Chain A
Amino acid sequence: MLQTRVIPCLLLKNDGLVKTVQFKNSSYVGDPINTVRIFNEKEVDELIFLDIQASPLNKEPDFKLLAEIADECFMPLAYGGGLKSIDQVKRIFNIGIEKVAVNSYAHENPSFITEIANLYGSQAVIASIDVKKNFWKKAEVVSSSASIKHKYSPVEWAKELVERGAGEILLTSVDKEGTWEGYDLDLIKSITSVVDIPVIAHGGAGSLDDFSKAKKTANASAMGVGSMVVYQKKDMGVLINFPDRKKLELALA
């Protein structure tokens, strides 16, 4: 049977890897190439790289760095950050990356998702949705590193993205990100119950039990993971690691 994917979501800033807490206070955790080599050895399922500065600073993707990453990467690889043109997407795919994640620009131009899907197939497009609760605890869609708020609800936006041709949804809870508190299961469930495409849960994973809950109670198809794979433990030093496969299989069985 299909194995549930556990996907390190790695944040690029300048040419280093960082980890944030609730999208803020980024700390340096290492060199991306070295990290990819370690994840290769650990035979991780898949990797997602997100450039957290590209959209807010209106920067081009760092194609040179991405090419170096792809050269070392022998698992499925996705890139997100600052993508605005088919030309950029073509360059990303030519480098040897096979999925792109689109977030900020989809809000300006949702047909960008359709354009990519028509050219490369839906499986190549991850629609990335960032969700943050407002003062009244209402979930709001945000973008550009949570600096812009949108009017539509996460459910409305997810449905729209599916109609536009997205192949997967990367669903990130800004409030949970970097906290080790567990995923926002209600948020995940609200999306998995209305879309047919795979949903990658992201934000808050702190234990194998969190993966299990995201899969079993919230029906996530894959688990995005950040802090757990770059730190030894909560509030401890940097250590690139990945849970033991046997333990993962048990947790996700």
Chain B
Amino acid sequence: MVTIVDYGMGNLGSIVNMFKKINVQAKITKDINEIEKADKILLPGVGAFDAAMSKIKESGFTQVLDYKAKEQKVPVLGICLGMQLLTDSSEEGVLPGLGWIPAKTIKFNFTKESGLKVPHMGWNLVKENRPSKLTIDFEEESRFYFVHSYYVKCENDENSILKTNYGLTFDSAIQKDNIFGAQFHPEKSHKFGMKLLKNFEAI
């Protein structure tokens, strides 16, 4: 059972739809007690960094999430903004992140001449940087759907499990122990996303 934390940001319908499709039990919750009982946690998120950190705090989830991730060490997967929240900080805001993985969230900054638009929106390839349970048995040329204006840079390269190129090379999936993050949207990435979510369920 995967517990999807609803702190009021993001589009949870499509994540639930994909879990249903791959026969993985998942439920959305706003209830601290449910989160406390969770054996796997998915941290979704679309929107702004500070707004998300504030909502987690207002919902009273900060402590229970910290306990689950750092003390009890249940598998946690942050998706998109949910992954950026795992880092120490973001150039998008002033509030500190959860700080579970030593990394920074940085704004894409391209010249007009580069022709590269921000957000980085569309399908892109991922390349394995380090083997992980999250990406086990991935097909060659696995591609995922991305929508983001900020990217994650890990302090230690060993925490980077997938890399993607868009004007520069960034960490598109990260891991430290039981904590995982994916910058793309697995729930919108066909069989590639199904594989990743199945892998997460199997951890």
Contacts and interface: CB of A to CB of B under 8 A. Distances in A.
A, B in one complex: yes
Q: Is the interface of B mostly helix, strand, loop or mixed?
A: mixed
B106 to A, nearest CB: 18
B11 A2 contact: no
B190 A93 contact: no
A5 B190 contact: no
Interface in B113-128: 117, 119-124
A76 B47 contact: no
Contacts of A46: 145
Interface residues of B, number: 32
Interface string A104-136: 000000000000000011011000000000000
Contacts of A62: none
Given A1-B166, A45-B123, A121-B46, A98 B117 contact: no
B47 A120 contact: yes
Contacts of A97: 13-14
Nearest to B116: A2
Contact of A94 (B13, B120, B124, B185): B13
B3 to A, nearest CB: 18
Contact of B11 (A4, A98, A167): A98
Contacts of B188: 74-77, 98
Contacts of A76: 145, 147, 185, 188
A3 B117 contact: no
A74 B190 contact: yes
A3 B123 contact: yes
Between A46, A95, A98, the greatest number of chain B beta carbons within 10 A of the residue's beta carbon is seen for A98
Given A45-B122, A198-B117, A3 B143 contact: yes
Contact of B122 (A4, A43, A74): A4
Interface in A1-25: 1-5
Nearest to A196: B117
10 contacts: A1-B165, A40-B190, A70-B13, A71-B20, A76-B145, A76-B147, A96-B11, A98-B46, A198-B117, A221-B122
Interface of A: 1-5, 40, 43, 45-46, 70-71, 73-77, 93-98, 120-121, 123-124, 167-168, 196-198, 221-222
Given A76-B147, A197-B117, 18 more contacts: A2-B120, A3-B124, A4-B122, A45-B145, A46-B145, A70-B17, A73-B14, A74-B21, A76-B145, A76-B185, A77-B188, A97-B14, A98-B14, A98-B188, A121-B47, A167-B119, A168-B121, A221-B117
Interface of B: 11-14, 16-18, 20-21, 46-48, 117, 119-124, 143, 145, 147, 165-166, 185, 187-191, 193-194
